[in-house]
A and B are shown apart, each in its own frame.
Chain A
Amino acid sequence: GIQVEQSPPDLILQEGANSTLRCNFSDSVNNLQWFHQNPWGQLINLFYIPSGTKQNGRLSATTVATERYSLLYISSSQTTDSGVYFCAVNSQTSYDKVIFGPGTSLSVIP
């Protein structure tokens, strides 16, 4: 099945800094989503982005489907950005199944 990798696995930022999180996937995908899991476990939808670029406030994401990667940009980070960021994909061969990457654990310190 499709493999999903995320880097870096852990990241510590000073408040106000910018960061880029990366998601690589091993097969063609129909859908790709970025989520933020907060300390209570709730998964918050950040982007639904099978291709192209989207922006939402301080966050933006780019997916280059032909090269099988996606990037999540966080600018002017805040302590509330702390948590785990997951990339999840639906492969074209298993359309209904959503496979999660291992996540990037982000800590933003004041």
Chain B
Amino acid sequence: GAVVSQHPSRVICKSGTSVKIECRSLDFQATTMFWYRQFPKQSLMLMATSNEGSKATYEQGVEKDKFLINHASLTLSTLTVTSAHPEDSSFYICSYPDRVGEQFFGPGTRLTVL
């Protein structure tokens, strides 16, 4: 299956700063990938669908100006949390689907906003 990496694995930042999270597919190219958010003791919630070369599609309730997604190539997508606040603290995970639609997930990024 596809191998997906994320960087950084953990980040602590001050309120008001912006944080960029990278998601790379190491052995597979995909025009579409997904960003999820997971709060403690909860399931994964889809935030947005990232499309290579075009604008991302955001789920209802997710602010596109706050969570900036850039899918610059078939193997790299970035999520930038702008002007982060404590309520944005969460576990952010990306995924790539392979040719048959099986999803492969990155190891996640744990964001803590002080």
Binding site for B on A (CB under 8 A): 30-31, 33, 35, 40-43, 45, 48, 86, 88, 90, 95-103
Nearest CB on B from A21, distance (A): 14
Q: Are A45 and B95 in contact (CB under 8 A)?
A: no
Cα A107 to Cα B11 in complex, Å, equals: 29
Contact between chains at A42 and B107 (CB < 8 Å): yes
Contacts of B27 in A (CB 8 A): none
10 extra interface residue pairs, beta carbon distance < 8 Å, beyond A42-B108, A98-B95, A100-B44: A31-B100, A40-B107, A41-B91, A41-B107, A42-B105, A48-B100, A86-B43, A88-B103, A98-B103, A102-B43
Please tell me if the beta carbons of B108 and A33 are within 8 angstroms of each other in the complex. Answer: no
- Docked Cα-Cα span, A40 to B46, in Å, equals 20
Within the complex, the shortest CB–CB distance from A97 to chain B, in Å, comes to 6
Please determine whether B102 and A31 come into contact, CB atoms closer than 8 angstroms. Answer: yes
B34 beta carbon closer than 8 Å to chain A: yes
| Chain A residues with CB under 8 A of B93 | 41, 43
Please tell me if B49 contacts chain A, counting CB pairs below 8 Å: yes
* A residues near B104, Cβ cutoff 8 Å: 45
Tell me the interface secondary structure of chain A in the complex.
strand
The size bracket of the interface on B is 20 to 34
Complex CA–CA separation, A7 to B83 (angstroms): 38
Residues of A near B101 (CB, < 8 A) are 30-31, 90, 95
Interface string of B90-114 (1 = CB under 8 A from A): 0101010100111111011010000
**Distance in angstroms between the alpha carbons of A86 and B45 in the assembled complex:** 12
**Contact, CB under 8 Å: B102 / A45:** yes
Report chain A residues within 8 Å CB of B97: 96, 98
Q: In the complex, what residues of B have CB within 8 A of residue A95's CB?
A: 101
- Min CB–CB distance A28 → chain B (angstroms): 15
- CB-CB nearest 9 A-B residue pairs: A43-B105, A48-B102, A41-B108, A100-B44, A100-B43, A31-B101, A102-B43, A42-B107, A103-B43
- Can you list 29 A-B pairs, Cβ within 8 angstroms, ordered by A? A30-B101, A31-B100, A31-B101, A31-B102, A33-B102, A35-B105, A41-B38, A41-B107, A42-B108, A43-B44, A43-B93, A45-B1, A45-B102, A45-B103, A45-B105, A48-B100, A86-B43, A86-B44, A95-B101, A96-B49, A97-B46, A97-B49, A98-B34, A98-B95, A98-B97, A99-B46, A100-B36, A100-B43, A101-B43
